[in-house]
A and B are shown apart, each in its own frame.
Chain A
Amino acid sequence: MAKKVLVFAEARDNELRNVSFEAIGAGKEIAAGGEVIAVVVGENVSSLTDPLFHYGADRVIKVEDQKLKNYTSDGYGQAFLQIVDSVDPDAILMPHTSIGKDLAPRLASKLDAGLVSDATGIELDGEEVIFTRPIYSGKAFEKKKVKEGIILATIRPNNIDALEIDESRSGEVFEESVNIKDLRTIVKEVVRKSTSGVDLSEAKVIVAGGRGVKSEEGFEPLQELADLLGAAVGASRGACDADYCDYSLQIGQTGKVVTPDLYIACGISGAIQHLAGMSNSKVIVAINKDPEASIFSVADYGIVGDLFEVVPLLTEEFKKVLQTN
């Protein structure tokens, strides 16, 4: 049976995140011919509605309110609940991002509902929606469903395909006003630490450096390669602890979990806590001078060598072949 699916479209720096489009794609699958309604909330989000149609939303609800300028679980929670009340969806999808992780459980609790967190796959079995999700830091997987009632899930970036963009698609934007009462948490300040450019958790290619990079300057050749490939730069905790880079770049159990198409690990030994954050990447390249390093055991391709020689050569080689194309 066709379902009505509500998708939370998340924006960052007034730009929709790619995972929002992936969530719409997931919503389309679950809707099975039903309706996908995207909701976008913030202080000023009018410019964000068109792309939601281009990526497949059937209907868009926008909620603008000064109190929604910064994310707070109270503000967004109240706004979202009112939308859920008026739409009465069969399923709700959110990105598995800082916001989605914070907000979805609250909503699930309020609705007395089941929530599948961090889904990396979706399949339909008759009426049932079955989600795949990693457990034990990606060392195993489980298939899970919500037994009955409204289905809630958060979607891990980079795993579920968005629909092909179709700029001819459009639809009606509904504006909803919400009544947001006292916010119990107040955001005093947001300190940006992550470098501008490609968002690490959504990047298709990541060039990551470890303690082997040896200094802050040591990251420069990695950045050059990343710039050329349109990639994001990431790091191991070893590199962060040694102050070669900011903790916002950390990948792993306690840092970000990433699943890019290509992960290039430079001077990273491959500790289990690092693997927890990147081992589900589609293709892994390891560059390490120690042939025994455990990173090679998860790598698809490895080069044993000095990263300060290998990485610049790699950049040169990519320049050559990318230019001739």
Chain B
Amino acid sequence: MNIYVIMKRTFDTEEKIVIENGKISEEGVEFIINPYDEYAIEEAIQLRDDHGGEVTVVSIGDEDVEKELRTALAMGADKAVLINNEDLDESDQYTTTALLAAYFEDKEYDIILGGNVSNDNSTGQVGPRLAEKLGIAYVTTITKLDIDGTTATMERDVEGDMEIVEAQLPLLVTAQQGLNEPRYPSLPGIMKAKKKPLEEIDYDDLDVEDDEIEAKTETIERYLPPKKEAGKVLEGELGDQVEELVKLLRQEAKVI
């Protein structure tokens, strides 16, 4: 089976956000594989172990993404591809999808796995956009995946409810929490990863015209939410505190 994972490198969830000159500062920031993409990588490895074939992890970003790609290889992926977009002046989900679509154009794939959403821009657009561009079906927010021949049966999370969905390969799916428990790279895995192929492609080398990758949206401003004033921790007898809280909620906050 030809298995592909699309992976984004993102800020560690714990990072504080600092804005400098209208941009999110990356100074001193720890990066990780987008948490949902870890589920996608794990599922891809399990699929390969069950059905044979190869797992290729593809990411668009700058050179630093090599680190996260090596981690994916150490987890057990077979190959990695970095599409370098360092020289791009602007980009949005449209751009990212167009580049990925150009990459996949001449590839044979049975399944493409991604995360359902990134933990930074959090639009969840890239998976469905890409499937549409490639003309294949997609199923988002899956929590279970079984493949039998060319039929995939999935469970998907729909705002807490569960849907059982069936589709034929080739297919694109996006991972939701619960799909699996991503493994940690083992020491031998890390050693092996160093020798696995990591191909770097400049976005310019893909068969895509400049006007086909021009961003459709523009960010005008980025800002931090107004600092919340320290909350009021109530004091005194518990009964009095409760009485005061109800009064505050009704009269000061006016939410009840």
Contacts and interface: CB of A to CB of B under 8 A. Distances in A.
B239 interface: yes
Given A142-B219, A301-B245, A97 B159 contact: yes
Contacts of A140: 17, 19, 24, 222-225
Interface stretch (B80-88, B102-110, B119-127): B119-127
B166 interface: yes
B239 A301 contact: no
B245 A261 contact: no
Interface stretch (A29-37, A50-58, A208-216, A311-319): A311-319
A248 B177 CA distance: 12
A248 to B, nearest CB: 3
B233 A184 contact: no
A190 B160 CA distance: 11
Contacts of A134: 122
A93 to B, nearest CB: 15
Interface string A114-158: 111110000000000010001111111111111111000000000
23 contacts: A72-B165, A98-B158, A102-B141, A105-B129, A109-B129, A110-B132, A117-B124, A140-B24, A140-B223, A141-B225, A147-B215, A186-B167, A188-B166, A190-B162, A193-B162, A250-B160, A253-B13, A253-B35, A272-B13, A273-B13, A303-B234, A313-B238, A318-B256
B interface, how many residues as a size bin? 35 or more
A3 interface: no
A73 interface: yes
Query: Could you tell me the dominant secondary structure of chain A's interface residues?
Result: mixed
A296 to B, nearest CB: 6
B228 A144 contact: no
A76 to B, nearest CB: 12
Contact of B137 (A117, A138, A184): A184
Contacts of A299: 231
A285 B253 CA distance: 11
Interface SS majority for chain B: mixed
B24 A136 contact: yes
Contacts of B1: none
Contacts, number: 249
Interface string B81-105: 0000000000011100100000000
Interface of A: 70, 72-74, 97-98, 101-106, 108-110, 112-118, 130, 134-149, 184-194, 200-201, 204-205, 229, 246-250, 253-256, 261-262, 272-273, 276, 280, 282-286, 291, 296-305, 309-310, 313-314, 317-318, 321
B248 interface: yes
Contacts of B138: 73, 106
A283 B249 contact: yes
Contacts of B129: 105-106, 108-109
Contacts of A285: 245, 249
Given A136-B11, A136-B17, A303-B233, 8 more contacts: A73-B137, A98-B158, A139-B225, A141-B222, A142-B222, A191-B162, A253-B35, A301-B233
A303 B242 CA distance: 8
Contacts of A194: 159-161
B175 to A, nearest CB: 11
Contact of A187 (B17, B163, B168): B163
A74 B171 CA distance: 13
